[in-house]
């Protein structure tokens, strides 16, 4: 045993009941980028219409590959906008390979390469569609952010416990793992219910949830990128809607409306996916296809000398135990 990560986790059924949990899933936390699918739902409700690949990018923490950068520019161009309308922070591409290639070609930190640029392009576009001011679109009092707050409250069935600012500058809400799991279950269920149908009788809210869920499922490479575990999870687990967040956050909604949520206490990203796969297994999901992202080797001297693996944190004694990895 070299090191241990701690955290909280919950699995909820479609009816909102708890199927499994560890730690304290009712303690408020910041979902960080796991909020993006909920923000995208709000924008679709406000009239944002994009091809599925670009809508997936609106819910993305992308790696900064050419397809991601070009996608963000396409959203801007469709609405008469430019990169000068961005209000996000500047950063290098998030993906390791993408960052190295960008640097080799003389690139530096920009707003376009920052991993939230697809979301910010979509936010600016939503403002244009509704006649709202583009300048100041990140202010919590802006009509766009007011709509996002209302949508987050509805989907999670929670009033935010606190308000902060995410790394890219977007308003950020403190919520519970149970509330976030509920939201992802709704999005995944809406996508499953609408797959292969043209049911225009569905409520507008449900159509927005379905649109976002289907876009993410059909274009998982736009939600993260090649070599990213979130992209792989959606490819390997049909019907799932998955999104990670900084500081060890992972959400996965499933086609039947159930969902799982994980928060690693120390923000350790390496613990996020192994704990998530273990939680999925505890709810009866066949995780055999996920074996490649469920663990990772510990290498010494060029060969494997250990293994990163999740403990049986769902089968601990009665006292609350936060050990996740």
Domain CATH for 114: 3.40.710
Q: H-helix or E-strand containing 220?
A: helix 220-223
Q: pTM of this prediction?
A: 0.93
Q: Is residue 325 part of a domain?
A: no
Return the closest-CA partner of residue 37 out of 190, 178, 202.
190
Contact 265, 281 (CB under 8 A): no
CB crowding 66-95: b at 16 or more within 10 Å, else e: ebbbebbbbbbeebebeeebbbbeebbbbb
Q: H-helix or E-strand containing 183?
A: helix 177-194
Per-residue confidence (pLDDT) for residue 204, from 0 to 100? 56
Q: Is residue 192 part of a domain?
A: yes
Q: Is residue 320 part of a domain?
A: no
Containing structural domain, residue 43: 7-197+205-309
What's the domain count of the chain?
1
Q: Is residue 46 part of a domain?
A: yes
Per-residue confidence (pLDDT) for residue 298, from 0 to 100? 92
Q: Is residue 322 part of a domain?
A: no
Q: Is residue 319 part of a domain?
A: no
Coil vs helix vs strand at 173: strand
DSSP designation for 92:
-
Per-residue confidence (pLDDT) for residue 296, from 0 to 100? 87
Return the closest-CA partner of residue 188 out of 208, 219, 203, 209.
209
Q: Is residue 321 part of a domain?
A: no
Residuewise pLDDT in 10s, the chain (325 residues)? 999 999 999 999 999 999 999 999 999 999 999 999 999 999 999 999 999 999 999 999 999 999 999 999 999 999 999 999 999 999 999 999 999 999 999 999 999 999 999 999 999 999 999 999 999 999 999 999 999 999 999 999 999 999 999 999 999 999 999 999 999 999 999 999 986 555 555 555 569 999 999 999 999 999 999 999 999 999 999 999 999 999 999 999 999 999 999 999 999 999 999 999 999 999 999 999 999 999 989 999 999 999 999 999 986 654 444 554 4
């Amino acid at each position: 045993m070299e090191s241990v990560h701690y955290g909280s986790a919950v699995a909820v059924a479609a009816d909102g009941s708890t199927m499994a949990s560890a730690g304290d899933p009712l303690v408020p936390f910041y979902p960080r980028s796991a909020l993006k699918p909920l923000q995208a739902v709000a924008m679709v409700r406000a009239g944002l219409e994009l091809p599925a690949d670009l809508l997936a990018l609106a819910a993305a923490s992308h790696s900064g590959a050419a397809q991601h950068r070009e996608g963000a520019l396409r959203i801007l161009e469709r609405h008469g906008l430019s990169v000068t309308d961005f209000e996000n922070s500047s950063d290098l591409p998030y993906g390791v390979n993408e960052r190295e290639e960008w640097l080799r070609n003389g690139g530096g930190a920009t707003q376009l390469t920052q991993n939230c640029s697809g979301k910010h392009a979509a936010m600016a576009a939503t403002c244009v569609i509704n006649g709202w001011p583009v300048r100041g679109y990140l202010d919590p009092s802006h009509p766009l952010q007011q709509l996002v707050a209302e949508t987050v409250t509805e989907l999670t069935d929670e009033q935010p416990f606190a308000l902060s600012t995410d790394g890219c500058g977007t308003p950020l809400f403190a919520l519970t793992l149970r509330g976030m799991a509920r939201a992802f279950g709704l999005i995944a269920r809406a996508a499953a219910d609408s797959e292969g149908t043209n049911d225009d009788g569905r409520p507008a809210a449900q159509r927005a949830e379905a649109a976002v869920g289907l876009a993410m499922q059909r274009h998982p490479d736009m939600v993260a990128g090649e070599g990213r575990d979130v992209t792989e999870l959606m490819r390997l687990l049909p019907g799932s809607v998955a999104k990670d967040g900084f500081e060890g956050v992972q959400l996965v909604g499933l086609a039947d409306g159930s969902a799982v949520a994980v928060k690693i206490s120390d923000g350790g990203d390496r613990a996020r996916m192994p704990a998530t796969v273990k939680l999925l297994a505890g709810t009866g999901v066949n995780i055999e296809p996920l074996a490649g992202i469920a663990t990772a080797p510990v290498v010494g001297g060029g060969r494997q000398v250990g293994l990163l693996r999740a403990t049986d944190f769902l089968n601990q004694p009665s006292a609350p135990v936060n050990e996740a990895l």
